[in-house]
Chain A
Amino acid sequence: MSEPNERSVLERREFLKTTGAVVVGLSVADKVGAQAPPSVVPSVQRGLASGPPDPAQVDSYIAIHPDNTATIFSGYVELGQGAPTALRQVAAEELDLDLDQVKDVKADTFVSTNGFTAASRGAGIGGTELRAAVAEARRVLLELASERLKTPVRDLIVTKGVVSVRGDPQRSVTYADLLGGKPFNRTYEPVSYQGGIELPRKGLDNAVPKRREDYRIVGTRVPRPDIAEKIKGTYEYVQHVRLPGMLHGRVVWPRGQGAHGISNPTVVGIDEASIKGIPGVQIVRRRNFVGVVAPREWDAVRAARQLKVTWEPFAESLPGHEGVSASFRSAKTNDAIDTNSGDVPVALSRGAHVLSATYRGPYQSHGTMAPNCAVADVSKDGALVMCSDQGIYQTRNGVARLLGLPVEKIRVQYCAGSNTYGGSCYRDAAQAAAIMSQEVGKPVRLQFSREDEFGWDNYGPAHLADLRAAVDANGKLLAFEYKAWGHTGGGMDTAMQLALGTPPPVTPPGGGFGPLFQVHLSQTDMYDVPNRLIVNHRVVGSGYLRTGPLRAPMDPSVFFAQEGMMDELAHAAKLDPYEFRKRNISHVRWLGVLKAAADAAKWTPRLAASTLSSAQVVSGRGMGLGTHHLPFNQGDRVTYAAAAVDIQVDKGNGLVVVTHVYGAMDCGLAINPGIVESQIVGMCVHGVSLALKEEVQFNRTNVTSLDWNTYRTLRFGDHPAVTPIVVQQLHEKSSGAGEEVLPAVVAAIGNAFFDATGVRIREYPLTPQRVLAALKSAGTPPRRA
């Protein structure tokens, strides 16, 4: 981190004086080896003006400093995925700086460009935006150098930010000499998007980025600097932030959400005497929002536990986690046809093998490693909010509404939390901290409990799918029909709903995140299918759980179903699952990742379930394809993923163990293949967890998965070996790399289970109970003579 200019630092101090945010030290800290007292303030601010800065200004993206280093002001944040390192690589590459000459800053709405770190956009979209700005920056620097050195630009070369004359290295000038501490003052044509598709830039005179053949930093495995800090224990998470005079806050919400839009938490009464005797504790209430604050954290924790709040009882309006499918089927739906090509009924009637099956996927939780936390300091003139929202500019809107302040008076600074995998309760945390700070007139650090986070998560939605498909006698696909049931639902953050005292708006079918929760299999055209029908039966979200985007939204369920059906068709046609896919896929990049996974796994042709064993523990292998469907954005940036897995099934106790996952991904240009491999490893393990363990449990009234015993996740002892494979594509656009292998892994596990047992399970997670029930209902698995 460095200071871009002195003036902005002064301005920052002025601002912070009004909000009370200054670095604070605790005297005992140094004595016990704390590396530094908890600090709260990123060392760079560019001034008082609320952003986002104009994307058509080079200065919005980058500054050159007198020490010949540069800082980029990207709004794409570190979620643990490493995107900021990839962005520094992009900037260093274009400017011919060494990587350690390029710094970044924590995202801040008074500093950063407007990036929304979701849908795996960081390196792809964020990198493309930055590359265009930095290419222009390089042009400015070379124009200045050309004047200074009296040499045409074409005869200049740059090494580590030193511009010299080709063949005469003594004649040189540094970036710092040219522009250190000074603005670029250059407008250019930024990259823009419509419907998520990158638009062609119109200007004929745009700076041309470096030729990819000449890359020396992009495409290499530089280590992430944040990892060393995290291992040493010096990294600052939002949970570490402390402000002077700050109070510790906890919310007091019902244990586990009820039916969304029906069971709206409503306070009947609060027994203030129930927390008498806890020193310094204050109850904070705004309509149905209840919380406590106290100077000491433990006092806030026990006050939140002890405070007796009477709520209106939740209605018995939920279907229970085992009743979701039946509920979907009986629901009145609003239907939307996504694709209708060819003539599916006719094609189905002509198939040599025609199959139909119903597949199901559960509600699953973001399951953040740490419950969300945020710190807010609200005065009548403005607010400072530190939180781990994926979109700092998006945070402002809800906070501004709750505080009754203009959006530009809300300053949001990103401070990393733990893994989020999408919209966990980070925005609720930011809003809750802001409400509490405004109520008590002091800075408040709000930390959700484990139960708050699990109980009020915006879960990934459950899924129900009826599939019909047909192949000809040669195993060529004739028809594929996918009818999906699902709902959206959210529409308002919980903290806001409680504080406004109004029920959340009922999201119409297909509204809100609706498009994300619908099936768009046609978009990626994985398989060559002449006749295809995709229908979304859209259920109204009221009466179910709150939902939101969860890593590769819906894709694990959709690919579990699609790839399960493909495997069923392969088996019916007596084909090896790999051979079947090769016969039905012509897209070279899909075939590429499939081959990469199969080769890594040393896949040998096999008819699934052809070597069944009567042993108690049996093994099997399966494969699957996957991607992340992007109806909103990045439609021109498809990522291709495939997985092969080896599993063992204990038919005695129903336990499934995945022993090895081979995950292959083609995300176009992998800016840092090492980081992409790390993402693949994570997705392979997460995929095993989704397929075997994770399911939000709830009864008729409320969610009952409130801790790590009632929401199961894969543990260390059961983790698979993972072989990650990055298929590098130097000349393709960089696309997402944080979601796409996940659905392939879930699908491959379902297929491997069939291979091991001869029994098809069409609902995940494959818990021991579900496995035992499936084996039992199938009778003795067929044995091959």
Chain B
Amino acid sequence: MADELQLKVNGRTLTVTAPPETPLLYVLTDDLALKGPRFGCGLGQCGCCSVLADGVEIRSCITPTSKVMGKSLTTLEGLPAYYATRMKLKSPPQLHPLQDAMIVEQAAQCGYCYNGQIIKGAELLFRTPEPTEAQIRTAMNGHICRCGTYPRIMSAIQRAARAMAAAKRAEASNDVEEAAHV
């Protein structure tokens, strides 16, 4: 039976009418018309459908919607704003630094898996801001890319980590300057 389900998606609270066991993916793509999470296998094996639930990457294709009510969901569309919140930035950037890095690297080919690659990579960078190559390989291992762009995703994650570290250093030195002026 269809129920009214309350969800928090990209910072907004919404109500959708759907059977509570409906996999979250179908609510996000069909009811909310989001383009980030997408169908790849329906089995939780490939990572195309990934979203963040309270900052943790989940596979929306096998997650019943009822299981994520009350959690804060972030899709690719909401990632820059979520990044701003997590990093306590004054305003959200246009894109998450990993997205910027992936464009610089011209990493994608068909790009279908990139929703999951970006979501998972962003999760990694929140948790481990300067990951080693081995840490990246382990974290990303559940995300398949059939175009074979793994080397460029690796480069993009490393580039984003450097950019985030540089931004942090710049901010820290600004803070010191501001503190000195007080």
Residues of A within 8 A of B (CB): 25-26, 28-29, 31-35, 37-38, 79-82, 223-224, 226-228, 230-237, 239-240, 242, 248, 279, 296-298, 301, 367-371, 416-419, 421, 447, 449-450, 674, 678-679, 681-686, 689, 707-709, 713-717, 719-722
Q: Check A708/B14 contact, CB under 8 A, given A34-B33, A369-B146, A419-B146.
A: no
| 6 intermolecular pairs with C-beta atoms under 8 Å apart | A32-B32, A235-B111, A237-B112, A367-B146, A368-B146, A682-B109
* Alpha-carbon distance between A610 and B22 when the two chains are bound, in angstroms: 60
Chain B contacts for A232, CB-based, 8 A = 76, 95, 99
Closest residue of chain A to B2, judged by CB?
Answer: A279
Interface of B with A (CB < 8 Å)? 2, 9-10, 12, 14, 16, 18-19, 22-23, 26, 29-36, 38-43, 45-46, 48, 75-78, 81, 95, 99, 102-103, 106-115, 118, 137-138, 140-154
Q: How far is the CA of A32 from the CA of B39 in the complex (A)?
A: 19
CB distance from A251 to the nearest CB of B (A): 14
Q: Given the interface contacts A32-B12, A32-B32, does A681 sit within 8 Å of B41 by beta carbon? A: no
Residue of B nearest to A24 (CB): B33
A81 to B149, CA, bound (A): 12
- 8 Å CB contact of A32 from B10, B45, B99: B10
Which of chain A's residues have a CB closer than 8 A to the CB of B43?
Answer: 450, 707-708
Q: Which residue of B lies closest to A305 (CB)?
A: B42
Are B153 and A716 interface neighbours, CB within 8 A? Answer: yes
CA A227 – CA B23 in complex, angstroms? 29
Is the Cβ of A681 less than 8 Å from the Cβ of B148?
yes
Choose among B10, B102, B150 the residue that contacts A33 (Cβ–Cβ < 8 A). Answer: B10
A369 touches B35 (CB 8 A): no
Query: In the complex, what residues of A have CB within 8 A of residue B144's CB?
Result: 369, 708, 713, 715-716
| Shortest CB distance B156–A (Å) | 9
Chain A residue numbers with a CB within 8 Å of B33 are 25-26, 28-29, 34, 37-38, 242
In the complex, the answer to whether B148 meets A707 with C-beta atoms within 8 Å is: no
Q: Are A28 and B31 in contact (CB under 8 A)?
A: yes
By a CB distance below 8 angstroms, the chain A residues around B110 are 79-80, 369, 416-419
If A685-B148, A717-B138 touch, does A80 touch B76 (CB 8 Å cutoff)? no
The reply to whether B78 and A231 form a contact with Cβ atoms under 8 Å apart is: no
Cα separation A346 to B42 with both chains bound (whole Å): 59
| A370/B38 in contact, CB under 8 A | yes
Q: How far is the CB of B132 from chain A (nearest CB, A)?
A: 13
How many residue pairs between the two chains, A and B, have CB atoms under 8 Å in the bound complex? 213
Contact B145 A34 (CB under 8 A): no
Task: Flag if A369 contacts B18 (CB, 8 Å).
Answer: no
A228 touches B38 (CB 8 A): no
Contact partner of B112 among A31, A33, A297, A369, CB < 8 A?
A: A369
| Additional A-B contacts beyond A37-B33, A708-B144 (8; CB < 8 A) | A80-B112, A236-B35, A367-B146, A369-B48, A678-B109, A678-B149, A708-B46, A716-B153
Identify which of A236, A417, A678, A679 gathers the most chain B CB atoms within 10 Å of its CB: A678
Q: Are B45 and A716 in contact (CB under 8 A)?
A: no
Given the complex of chains A and B, what is the CA–CA distance between A686 and B151 in angstroms?
12
- By CB atoms of chain A within 10 A, which of B81, B107, B150 has the most? B150
Residue in B14, B19, B106 whose CB lies within 8 Å of A28: B14
Is the Cβ of B111 less than 8 Å from the Cβ of A449? no
- Please tell me if the beta carbons of A685 and B48 are within 8 angstroms of each other in the complex: no
**A369 lies within 8 A of B113 (CB):** yes
Give CA–CA (A519, B95) in the complex, Å: 49
Q: Of A248, A418, A719, which contacts B151 at CB under 8 A?
A: A719
Min C-beta distance of B43 to chain A, whole Å: 6
A692 shortest CB reach to chain B, Å: 13
Q: Which of A231, A369, A674 contacts B46 (CB 8 A)?
A: A369
Known A26-B33, A32-B12; contact A370-B40, beta-carbon cutoff 8 A: yes
- Distance between B123 CB and nearest chain A CB, rounded to angstroms: 14
Query: In the docked arrangement, what's the CA distance between A594 and B77, Å?
Result: 45
Report A-chain residues with C-beta under 8 Å of the C-beta of B16.
Answer: 28
CA distance A35 to B99 in the complex (A): 16
CA distance A240 to B36 in the complex (A): 10
Across the A-B interface, the 3 shortest Cβ-Cβ residue pairs: A685-B148, A80-B110, A230-B111
Contacting residues, chain A, for B154 (C-beta < 8 A) = 719
Q: Judging by beta carbons under 8 Å apart, are B141 and A717 in contact?
A: yes
Shortest Cβ distance from B114 into A: residue: A230
* Chain B residues, Cβ within 8 Å of A447: 39
Contacting residues, chain B, for A367 (C-beta < 8 A) = 146
Measured between beta carbons, the chain A residues less than 8 angstroms from B147 are 80, 369, 419, 682, 686
For residue A687, which residue of chain B has the nearest CB? B148
A679 CA / B28 CA spacing, docked (Å) = 32
A709 & B111 in contact (Cβ 8 Å cutoff) = no
Residue of A nearest to B31 (CB): A28
Per the bound structure, the CA–CA distance linking A296 and B35 in Å amounts to 17
Residues of A within 8 A of B141 (CB): 715-717
- Chain B residues contacting A684 (CB-CB under 8 Å) are 148
Q: Verify A223–B106 contact, CB threshold 8 A.
A: yes
Q: Nearest-CB distance from A85 to chain B (Å)?
A: 10
Closest to B113 in A: A369
Complex CA gap A417/B22 in Å reads 24
**In contact, A35 and B35 (Cβ under 8 angstroms):** yes
Question: CA of A482 to CA of B36 in the docked complex: distance in angstroms?
Answer: 49
**In the complex, A32→B141 CA distance in Å?**
29
B-side contacts of A714, CB under 8 Å: 148, 150
Does the CB pair B137–A717 fall under 8 Å?
Answer: yes
Question: Given A416-B110, A721-B151, is A716 in contact with B42 using a C-beta cutoff of 8 Å?
Answer: no
Q: Are A233 and B153 in contact (CB under 8 A)?
A: no
Which residues from A are CB-within-8-Å of B108?
A: 80, 227, 230-231
Residue in A416, A713, A716 whose CB lies within 8 Å of B140 = A716
B34 and A34 form a contact (CB under 8 A):
yes
Bound form: Cα–Cα A606–B118 in Å = 42
Inter-chain contact A419/B112, CB cutoff 8 Å: yes
Question: Is A419 a contact partner of B35 (Cβ separation < 8 A)?
Answer: no
Give Cα distance in the complex from A38 to B35, angstroms: 8
- Once the chains are docked, how many angstroms separate the CA of A715 from the CA of B145? 8
Name B76's closest neighbour in chain A (CB-CB): A233
CB distance from B67 to the nearest CB of A (A): 15
User: B75 touching A722 by the CB < 8 A rule?
Assistant: no
Cβ-neighbour of A685 out of B12, B45, B149 (below 8 A): B149
Kindly identify which residue among A35, A82, A231, A719 contacts B102, using a CB–CB cutoff of 8 Å. A231
CB atoms of A34 and B138 under 8 A apart: no
Q: How far is the CA of A719 from the CA of B145 in the complex (A)?
A: 11
Docked complex Cα distance between A689 and B40 (Å): 19
Which of A81, A231, A685, A708 interacts with B118 by CB under 8 Å? Answer: A231
Smallest Cβ-Cβ distance to A709: which chain B residue: B45
In the complex, the chain B residue whose C-beta lies closest to that of A677 is B106
Q: Are A450 and B111 in contact (CB under 8 A)?
A: no
Residue B35 contacts which of A234, A417, A678, A709 (CB distance < 8 angstroms)? A234
Are A713 and B35 within 8 A (Cβ)? no
